[in-house]
């Protein structure tokens, strides 16, 4: 069963995630099939408006930091 079906069938209540801290939200979301840490972090940043989340696994951020600090690979 997909995530959308679980939400419709009330097996997942996304509103309860707002009461949890970032680590708990990431843990809950990554239990879902197809959701890994990066996706959970993006959900917290863009869907839950959590400004304090920083995705260290984001490829674009890694690339930008390397450019800023003059590293090549």
39 contact partners, CB below 8 Å, separation of at least 6 = 29
Tell me the whole-structure pTM to 2 decimals.
0.77
Average of pLDDT values for 34-57?
Answer: 93
Is pLDDT above 60 for 73?
no
3-state secondary structure of 55: coil
Average of pLDDT values for 28-46?
Answer: 94
Mean pLDDT across the chain: 91
Q: Supply the pLDDT for residue 61.
A: 84
Q: Supply the pLDDT for residue 43.
A: 95
């Amino acid at each position: 069963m997909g995530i959308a079906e679980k939400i419709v069938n009330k097996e997942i209540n996304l509103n309860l995630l707002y009461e949890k801290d970032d680590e708990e939200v990431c843990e809950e979301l990554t239990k879902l099939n197809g959701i890994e840490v990066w996706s959970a972090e993006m959900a917290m940043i863009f869907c839950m408006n959590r400004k304090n989340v920083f995705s260290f696994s984001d490829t674009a951020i890694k690339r930008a930091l390397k450019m800023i600090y003059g590293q090549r690979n």
